[in-house]
Amino acid sequence: MEASNIIDGQQRFTTLQYFLAALAIVLRQENQATLLALADGCLWNENTDTMQQPEIEMFKVWPTFRDRGNFQLALKATNLDELRERFPNSFTQSGNLKKIGVDHSPALEAIWYFADE
């Protein structure tokens, strides 16, 4: 199967992935397994046996070069505590997202925002 690159609309697709990742965190927290399976199906390609590069092809959307590391870290987080662990410099000692003096990863900031809302 040939990979396709989406240029127009890439930002909207990426934002949708952030929303779905946040939704999955909330559904997992609320023990909503049926709905979680639907959200996960929109986030991940499942059959890694058929993939040439599973670490990349497992994602439904793949961002631009500069965002890839943080994108992977944020999307693979299964709960808010994992987000805090993966991005420790972005949080206060009380566990809240810092509001001043930190340039947050767009992936972290979006997922945190959507999960919080």
Question: Does this model's pTM top 0.95?
Answer: no
pLDDT (0 to 100) of residue 1: 60
pLDDT (0 to 100) of residue 60: 85
H runs (alpha helix) in the chain: 10-29, 33-43, 54-57, 68-75, 80-86, 106-116
pLDDT (0 to 100) of residue 7: 56
In whole angstroms, give the CA distance from residue 116 to residue 97: 11
The answer to whether 77 touches 86, Cβ cutoff 8 Å, is yes
pLDDT (0 to 100) of residue 100: 87
Task: Report the SS3 class of residue 94.
Answer: coil
pLDDT (0 to 100) of residue 47: 87
Q: Which residues of the chain have pLDDT under 50?
A: none
pLDDT (0 to 100) of residue 8: 61
pLDDT (0 to 100) of residue 5: 59
